[in-house]
A = this chain, B = another copy of it.
């Protein structure tokens, strides 16, 4: 399993992914699921990977190799819009699926999906996700965040505090707490957490940070959150029947 979140804010984008991969609980490892495609001054695109590692790594490598070919081929560095980027990511997914799917056993079907977003000069920041079927949706004000993987445990905190007007600092805090709730209940989602933040119209990545186990900020944030939640709970009205 995996947990990835992307948030579309008025003033930018926030992305985060866990880094646990596993083939059963007796075989797990750490791989970064956050990839950045950056052409400073022109575009920043951040991708978060969910699904089988062999598939998602191959798709990211194909996207990188196509960028390296320059303008000879459509790629993430010459796409005119984020919608075109979505098409390129979807196409690369289909290419890898076409190559691998017949060799995969039925109980491990090909499975790769991505949350990705960013800004290309001439557009506003945009946020998308592909499904395993390689079709895709775009976030908008009504639903400003997209999740993949183990989405449920970490959804209440996002619903409580995140909307389009949330500032980047608060969105980052909410996303980290969302990971804390998820990791508490699902062993297949694990530290470290990779977090990235993009500021609107900057065309360069504002921040990228990895939170390792025992990260002092993450530890303080989650401790204060839990203590605060307990205090609120103790002050709730008593049942009046």
The answer to whether A160 and B229 touch across the interface, beta carbons within 8 angstroms, is yes
Most B CB contacts (10 A, CB to CB) among A156, A157, A169, A224 go to A156
Contacts of A207 on B, CB cut-off 8 Å? 241
Contacts of A228 on B, CB cut-off 8 Å? 231-233, 235-236
What band does the interface of chain A fall in when counting residues whose beta carbon is under 8 Å from B? 35 or more
| A239 CB–B CB distance under 8 Å | yes
Contacts of A209 on B, CB cut-off 8 Å? 241
Q: Closest approach, in angstroms, between the C-beta of A180 and any C-beta of chain B?
A: 9
Question: In the complex, A237 Cα to B155 Cα: how many Å?
Answer: 21
**Which of B153, B173, B230 is A161 in contact with, Cβ under 8 Å?**
B230
The answer to whether A239 and B152 touch across the interface, beta carbons within 8 angstroms, is no
Contacts of A236 on B, CB cut-off 8 Å? 173, 221, 224-225, 228
Contacts of A221 on B, CB cut-off 8 Å? 236-237
Residues A203-241 near B (CB distance < 8 A): 207, 209, 217, 220-221, 224-226, 228-233, 235-241
Per DSSP, chain A at the interface is helix
Q: Closest approach, in angstroms, between the C-beta of A227 and any C-beta of chain B?
A: 9
| A184 CB–B CB distance under 8 Å | yes
**Which of B156, B173, B233 is A184 in contact with, Cβ under 8 Å?**
B156
The answer to whether B225 and A173 touch across the interface, beta carbons within 8 angstroms, is no
Contacts of A170 on B, CB cut-off 8 Å? 233
| 11 pairs, CB–CB < 8 Å, chain A vs chain B | A155-B185, A156-B156, A159-B185, A172-B239, A221-B237, A224-B232, A225-B233, A225-B236, A228-B233, A228-B235, A228-B236
